[in-house]
Structure 1
Amino acid sequence: MASDFQRRKISGVFDAMDADGDGVLTESDFRALTRRWLDVRGTDGNTPEGQHLAAIMMGWWGTLDDAAGHGGRVTLEQVLRVVDELPAMPGAVTGTAAAMFEAVDENGDGVISAEEYRRMIEAWSGGRAPSEDVFAHLDLDGDGKLSRDEFTGHWFEFWAGDDPAAPGSWVFGRV
């Protein structure tokens, strides 16, 4: 059963993804998230970059819908039940981390810059959100970028962890 902390952090991401605010996630919510992300990047779904990003985001929807039972409507409670199972499924979590890393690493240089991270937060939140102190908290070695390994570790901490002090708890911003 999800702890209060897990509920808070997952609720924040859920609310950001729930574009129409109806309390359930649907394919149309993920299409809206994809459009926000493309807008933040200044591209559209007709470019190779846009098509790749859309495939990643809609793939994430397919994975979530599948994990929640393939009903086409995913509630917060269903997401929290999935989250309860994630510590025993590290491969599934790191697989989504790899896809998300690709989506965030806009220039394909193998690292996420503070600017790329900021755009990710804006895409997820639907607006401007402070991210400088969050990025610094995630940048464990202080080199000004997140490596694939750093990001993957943080992603796992966010989705499968329950430690408010873990840097990964901040992947989508302060909780």
Structure 2
Amino acid sequence: MTLAPQSELLDHKFDMCFGHADQNKDGVVDAADILTFAARVIAAVNEPFDSPKATEMLRVCQNWWEGMASELDTDKDGKIDPLEYRVGMRRLVGSKSSFDAASRPVATAIWKLCDRDDDGEVSAREFSAVQLAFGTTPENARIGFEKLDLDGDGSLSVDELTVAFHDFYTSTDADTNGNWLFGAEFQTA
């Protein structure tokens, strides 16, 4: 059975995100991977690990892991394999309220880390620092920022980042701006 192109697009994005989460590249995602991911983002912006922003990011990622493990780890072995991730993400994104409840705290914590000067806005330069932690090229980070800045005011709001998370994980439209959340990486095979 062949998947419809839209299903293939979502699966490709889910697989890419699984790769981001699997920090030690052992083929599964576990709590250590998620906390390593959080530490990588914190380090990318040179945030002190004992700062309120860093501790919030670690707390949010721990909570995110616990929620994801509860929903996606079907065999309850403490690890999420690629199939569990795909199937579970399809189920999770099918419920907007569940997805938004899971993703908004992560988007908010990342947004706060991005806001290096605490002015309540995330500039292109600030956004780029976090994007580098995802392996996004500087050029793709710049384009991504422009695509995600929905109101064109030169900064990203937490709402714009939350919309990007939602669109990236749920949209079957290959041209949606949210697909630029991690640069153009999802478009590569």
Q: One fold, TM greater than 0.5?
A: yes
Describe the SS at the equivalent of 1:173: strand
- Compared CA separation, residues 128 and 166, structure 1 to 2 (3 A): closer
CA distance in 1: counterparts of 2:52 and 2:68, whole angstroms? 24
Instruction: Name the TM-score, length of structure 2 as normaliser.
Output: 0.80
| Structure 1 equivalent of residue 87 of structure 2 | 81
CA distance in 1: counterparts of 2:31 and 2:48, whole angstroms? 18
Letter in 2 for 1:167: N
- 1:32-71 equivalences under 5 Å are 32-69=36-73, 70-71=76-77
Structure 2 gap segments, 5+ residues each: none
- Compared CA separation, residues 144 and 132, structure 1 to 2 (3 A): same
- Compared CA separation, residues 134 and 157, structure 1 to 2 (3 A): same
Describe the SS at the equivalent of 2:133: helix
Structure 1 gap segments, 5+ residues each: none
Off by >6 Å, runs of 4+ in structure 1? none
Structure 2 residue 15 is the aligned partner of structure 1 residue 11: yes
Larger Rg: 2
CA distance in 2: counterparts of 1:25 and 1:121, whole angstroms? 21
1:105 to 112, 126, 130: 112
1:142 to 134, 152, 162: 152
Deviation at 1:141, TM superposition (A): 2.1
CA distance in 1: counterparts of 2:127 and 2:134, whole angstroms? 11
| Structure 2 equivalent of residue 121 of structure 1 | 131
- Compared CA separation, residues 50 and 105, structure 1 to 2 (3 A): closer
More displaced stretch, 142-151 vs 52-61: 142-151
CA distance in 1: counterparts of 2:50 and 2:151, whole angstroms? 37
Structure 2 residue 167 is the aligned partner of structure 1 residue 161: no
Deviation at 1:109, TM superposition (A): 4.6
Q: Is the 8 A contact 2:13 2:169 kept in 1?
A: no
Deviations 1:49-71 (A, max 9, x none): 22111111222211211111343
Percent identical residues? 23
Describe the SS at the equivalent of 1:3: helix
Instruction: Name the TM-score, length of structure 1 as normaliser.
Output: 0.86
Q: Is the 8 A contact 1:87 1:161 kept in 2?
A: no
Q: Is the 8 A contact 1:114 1:132 kept in 2?
A: yes
Q: Is the 8 A contact 1:97 1:151 kept in 2?
A: no
Aligned residues: 174
Letter in 2 for 1:66: S
- Compared CA separation, residues 118 and 21, structure 1 to 2 (3 A): same
Deviation at 1:159, TM superposition (A): 1.4
Q: CA RMSD in A?
A: 2.2
CA distance in 2: counterparts of 1:117 and 1:53, whole angstroms? 16
Deviation at 1:152, TM superposition (A): 2.1
